[in-house]
Amino acid sequence: MIDYKKIYFQKTLLIFFIIFFIIFSSFCASAQEEGKEEKEKEESVVNIEADNVTYDKSTDKMVFAGNVVITQEDIILTAQEADFDVDKKIGNISGDIKLVQTDITITGKTLEAFLNDKKYIFQEMVRLIQERKDKDEKEDNIIWNCKMLEIFTDTRDLTATGEVKIFKKDYVITAEKAIYNDKEQKIDLTGKVKIEEQDNKRWISGDKAVFYIETERLEVEGNVQSGFKLD
């Protein structure tokens, strides 16, 4: 005689173990990934070289002077002077500032570096060059000029303010503020926005706009005006 209760119990037990195994495997994978991220975070090391350094233990500050070179993962930052709060990992940097990260180069007169957050704020005569190539593998660099630029080097997102001027091939873009999203490859522009297309002698302006870098698509809103020059 078939014992249906026994069969039902065995099936229920089997399903329970399968569910438990799936949950346990997911938990282990998640814990392993978190551990990997935490290890990578712990292993992030900053190295600083300079001609001279002074350290004030009472304020926990270090001042590096002369041919300063700061490296953190894929970032190389050079300057003439760097004043660091050792505890907070915040530095004020000046003199021939240049930050290089793979295909990005940024220069400016002064810089505030937040090493823990991988955030850098450049001020005065800021210039950023993004080295790029188009679908035909031809040079398609984007050049930014502005008064202040904030960049997060882990996401490559940035915000430029103060007389922003952006050059891309035939385009010249001006605005009071520009926010670049690296993942979405777009620039949000606000304040006296104007986009000029040099070769075709066209221009369009408005209160705000979105410029999509890959497709060169443009969306403009508020007090929109447009024009073009006749041959």
- Mean pLDDT, consecutive 10-residue stretches, the chain (231 aa), reads 52 52 54 53 77 91 95 94 92 96 95 95 96 85 97 96 94 97 96 89 94 92 88 68
Q: Give the chain's domain count.
A: 1
Task: Residue 77: name the closest of 51, 117, 113 by CA.
Answer: 113
Question: Is 213 a domain residue?
Answer: no
Residue type at position 165? K
Between CA 63 and CA 80 the distance in angstroms is 11
Question: Is 26 a domain residue?
Answer: yes
pLDDT at 20: 47
Question: Is 15 a domain residue?
Answer: yes
Between CA 197 and CA 183 the distance in angstroms is 25
Question: Is 19 a domain residue?
Answer: yes
Residue 14: give the domain boundaries.
Answer: 1-43
Question: Is 70 a domain residue?
Answer: no
Question: Is 24 a domain residue?
Answer: yes
Question: Is 163 a domain residue?
Answer: no
Question: Is 27 a domain residue?
Answer: yes
- Please answer whether residues 177 and 207 qualify as being in contact, where contact means their C-beta atoms are separated by less than 8 angstroms: no
- Please answer whether residues 142 and 130 qualify as being in contact, where contact means their C-beta atoms are separated by less than 8 angstroms: yes
Between CA 106 and CA 210 the distance in angstroms is 23
Task: Residue 46: name the closest of 72, 67, 69 by CA.
Answer: 72
Beta strand extents in 115-222 (DSSP E only): 119-130, 142-152, 157-168, 171-181, 186-197, 202-212, 217-221
pLDDT at 108: 96
- Please answer whether residues 178 and 208 qualify as being in contact, where contact means their C-beta atoms are separated by less than 8 angstroms: no
pLDDT at 167: 96
